[in-house]
Structure 1
Amino acid sequence: MAEGLGVPNKSIFSTFITQLDNDSLLRFNHYPPKDCNKDRDNSNSFNVGFGEHSDPQILTILRSNDVAGLQISLQHGVWNPVTPDPFAFCVNVGDLLEVMTNGRFMSVRHRAVTNSYKSRMSVAYFVAPPLDAYIVAPSVMVTPNRPSLLYKPFTWAEYKKVTYSLRLGDNRIDIFKNCTQVE
């Protein structure tokens, strides 16, 4: 990734996650099928299993049991289903990677929905640095197209504290926008 972005230090991103005290975690999710009898008057074909959000970490590596349910929003309010592939992982860019790439990679807003025919199961690996890791875009990410840092530097502990103090759907990364940036 660093090579593709033109960052001279090829280990700039991997250094965070190879440290023993990284804050990465593995989570298993189970979304039972929607109870059709309970919602007879509801015309929606799904219920929200996990609400709209972006992941605060660097990356999320996700695998499901080949049951649809993951949706992403590339435009505010427009939800696009992600077709499950039993032979692939889904990789989501997290908020920290957006900051570390100065907005070249964008954190993806997503949600999980249930259906009326089959349980959906997934496993997610949230790739996160140590709590004291200093999060800032390398200087090479400041370009003529992005003449200043889009986000103020912070530690993962600071961002994590803010993230978990707000509602799930809040756009938490905007709190760290750099007010001095040139647009």
Structure 2
Amino acid sequence: MVDGSKPVIEQSSYVDHSRPSGSALSSHEIPVVDLSKPDSKSLIIKACEECGFFKVVNHGVPLDSISRLEEEAVKFFSLPLPEKERAGPPDPFGYGNKKIGCNGDVGWVEYLLLTIDPNFDSDKLPSVFNENPEKFRSALGDYTSAVRDMACEILELMADGLRIQQRDIFSKLLMDEQSDSVFRLNHYPPCPELQSYDDRNMIGFGEHTDPQIISVLRSNNTSGLQISMKDGTWVSVPPDQNSFFINVGDSLQVMTNGRFRSVRHRVLANSSKSRLSMIYFGGPPLSEKIAPLPCLMKGKESLYKEFTWFEYKKSAYTTRLADNRLEHFQRVAAS
């Protein structure tokens, strides 16, 4: 359990043998997009095509809403383990510790997975936030509302950059009342045991892509996040607690017929500092059909079969983190 006590380290599950921890990474730069500048949409398109990931500055999300939710998250993860476990196990919402999903993946992480559906009534949260659960709900609502608005602005800039007439073709899926968007708080406690594992990396959260349309990540000033570039190089993302990071998800890769790249990413544990991340996963309604947009095909063949978000989500839950979830939905070229 990730509870601050001395952990049992399972090398087969936790330790990454792909490269020595001290080896040099490629000098790839993380794209930065200033949403207040007129060239933002062209920079977004370029970033989505080249690596599926970029940092956003001048995002317009109130710093107060960020700090309020982070404060509530720190309070929660500082609770004794038995109290946090009252909000678990995740089914799928709730508190989880070390185990990620139901297919054997583990990491040096504890988390709280929540729906942002205001009509969803969880009986777990009030028992954990017994002092003032409404304070947490208010902070969560204000933050996710502001971040969703920013995500929609980015998606509409994408549509503009792709010269799609229907500007809200992506954003309307997040704004839909039936949108299946979720929110996740990840806490990676310090892992002092890393000091005794030379040339090894402790995996906080294993490599994967996000299945939704878009992910909006914000973390504190602790490093750990890495993304995989086209050449397979893992590049560390410098932390920036005042900015947001955007991931292209599998669904957006399909809708753009592979033009945008769903980014593979992971988190490495830190030996001395705690890392807290807050992720908004913008998902479509469960019944939404996901397929390459006809307006982007221009005579090209579709690389993917059509599927509903429910079908893809169900399929994703049966896979391991590192699996290529889109493989089952790719069209096989005739031999």
Q: Residue 175 of structure 1: CA displacement?
A: 1.3
The runs of 5 or more residues in structure 1 that have no matched partner are none
Aligned twin of 2:258: 103
Aligned twin of 1:73: 228
Distance in 2, matches of 1:105 and 1:111, equals 19
Partner SS for 1:16: helix
Distance in 2, matches of 1:181 and 1:3, equals 34
Partner SS for 1:47: strand
My pick for the range that moved more, 71-80 or 162-171, is 71-80
Q: Residue 107 of structure 1: CA displacement?
A: 0.1
**Would you say 1:15 and 2:15 are equivalent positions?**
no
Please give the per-residue CA displacement for 1:5-58, whole angstroms capped at 9, x wherever unaligned. Answer: 11111111011111111110111000011123x762x21364110000000000
Letter in 2 for 1:78: T
Q: Residue 155 of structure 1: CA displacement?
A: 0.2
Letter in 1 for 2:202: N
Alignment of 1:38-77 (within 5 A): 40=196, 42-44=197-199, 46-75=201-230, 77=232
Please give the per-residue CA displacement for 1:116-167, whole angstroms capped at 9, x wherever unaligned. Answer: 11000000000001100011121121136xx111111110000001101011
Larger relative strand fraction: 1
**Shift in CA distance, 45/34, structure 1 to aligned 2, threshold 3 Å:** farther
Q: Equivalent pairs: percent with the same residue?
A: 48
Paired positions, count? 178
Could you state the TM-score of these two structures normalised by the residue count of structure 2? 0.51
Match of 1:34 among 191, 200, 207: 191
Q: Residue 181 of structure 1: CA displacement?
A: 8.0
Distance in 2, matches of 1:118 and 1:75, equals 30
Match of 1:152 among 305, 312, 332: 305
Partner SS for 2:317: helix
Partner SS for 2:238: coil
Letter in 1 for 2:199: N
Letter in 2 for 1:82: V
Match of 1:167 among 320, 324, 331: 320
Match of 1:2 among 154, 159, 176: 159
Distance in 1, matches of 2:167 and 2:247, equals 20
The runs of 5 or more residues in structure 2 that have no matched partner are 1-157
Distance in 2, matches of 1:176 and 1:158, equals 10
**Shift in CA distance, 179/45, structure 1 to aligned 2, threshold 3 Å:** closer
**Would you say 1:88 and 2:240 are equivalent positions?**
no
Q: What do you get for the CA RMSD once the two structures are aligned?
A: 1.8
Contact 1:150-1:181 within 8 A present in 2 as well = no
Structure number with bigger Rg: 2
Distance in 1, matches of 2:261 and 2:229, equals 10
**Shift in CA distance, 14/57, structure 1 to aligned 2, threshold 3 Å:** same
**Would you say 1:24 and 2:24 are equivalent positions?**
no
Distance in 1, matches of 2:289 and 2:215, equals 19
Partner SS for 2:314: helix
Q: Residue 77 of structure 1: CA displacement?
A: 4.6
**Would you say 1:119 and 2:274 are equivalent positions?**
yes
After TM superposition, where is structure 1 displaced by more than 3 Å over at least 4 residues in a row?
A: none
Q: Residue 174 of structure 1: CA displacement?
A: 1.7
Distance in 1, matches of 2:198 and 2:187, equals 23
Contact 2:216-2:280 within 8 A present in 1 as well = yes
